[in-house]
Amino acid sequence: MRSRKTASPSKQDLEQKILVFFEGLRTPPADLSGLLKEITLHVSLRERHLEDYGSDDPPAVQLEKVENYLNCLKALRKAWSFLPRSAREVTLDNIASSESTLLPDIVTSKLPSLFYTDKDSLPDWRRRGLDHVSGWGYDLEMIDALYESGYWYKVNVSHKLIRTDGSHIGLVANIACACERHGIKLSAKPRSVFYRLILIVFPQMNDPGALIKLALTVRNAEISYLDNVIPA
């Protein structure tokens, strides 16, 4: 859901206002047309995002649902670890004959033959529950892959949307990257070029300083979910 404060002008109006703003600077960017193209592209992508996902639940509710999803997967993995040893070491052969799946035969016919034994190549969190088995099938691989991808979404998307109405922090972060490439100093100070540019993008926002600071933090965050997945 988008608030009035984070609504942007139409593409044509925005292009004109940004062009006038930069041309009025003592030293405009060398590649002004290139920078303008990048900024308007990011704004257009954000508009498309809001059209597709603007009716989603508020970010805090989305995160809660993601947490519930991850908890269910952790519970499923724990249930798998309590299966009889024979069940854990024998793949689900009957999936090849399943009548309910829409997976093609070329996929289901290969799944039963997948058997994994290389524990040393696994991250620590994936070794839990594997101490007393010589190998495992694709079922555990899918459970862990689902958890890992869900965890990535939680860390890289959900947490970054908590204080947004959709994606305006991401928009500012992307504009910051474009400006930096074109030699514009990034600053949350009201007299800075970047601050005044964000006011053009979000004309209804009285003071985008806090937004800029948060966006720059998001922009600089590099998270490796492969090292931080902890399904306790």
**What would the DSSP string read from start to end of 53-99?**
HTTSPPHHHHHHHHHHHHHHHHHHHHHHHTS-HHHHHS--GGGGG-S
What are the structure tokens assigned to 144, written together? 């862990």
Task: Encode burial over 143-179: b for 16+ CB neighbours within 10 A, e otherwise.
Answer: bbebbbebbbbbbeebbbbeebbbbbbbbbbbbbebb
Q: DSSP assignment of 100-143, as one string? A: S--S-HHHHTTGGG-EE--GGGS-GGGGTT-TT-S-EEHHHHHH
Phi and psi torsions of 208, nearest 5°: -85, 15
Residue 71 confidence (pLDDT)? 95
Other beta carbons less than 10 A from residue 81's beta carbon: 15
Ranges of the chain with pLDDT below 70: 1-9, 54-56, 59, 90-91, 158-167, 218-232
The predicted structure's pLDDT at residue 222: 42
Domain-by-domain residue ranges, the chain? 4-54+166-223, 61-156
CB atoms within 10 A of CB 56: 13
Q: Which amino acid is at 225?
A: Y
The two structure tokens encoding residue 170: 């991401």
Residue that has been written with the tokens 């970047």 in this structure: 194
* Three-point CA angle 107, 112, 118, nearest 5°: 105
Each residue's pLDDT tens digit, 19-67: 999 999 999 999 999 999 999 988 888 888 777 776 667 767 888 899 9
Query: Cα separation of 88 and 86, whole Å?
Result: 5
Give the position of tokens 């399904």: 231
Q: What are phi and psi of 158, to 5 degrees?
A: -60, -50
How much helix, strand and coil, in percent to the nearest 5, is found in the chain? 65, 0, 35
Predicted pLDDT of residue 45: 81
Are 150 and 73 in contact by the 8 Å Cβ rule? The answer is yes
**pLDDT in the model for residue 147:** 95
| Residue-level pLDDT at 141 | 94
Distance CA 94, CA 89 (A): 15
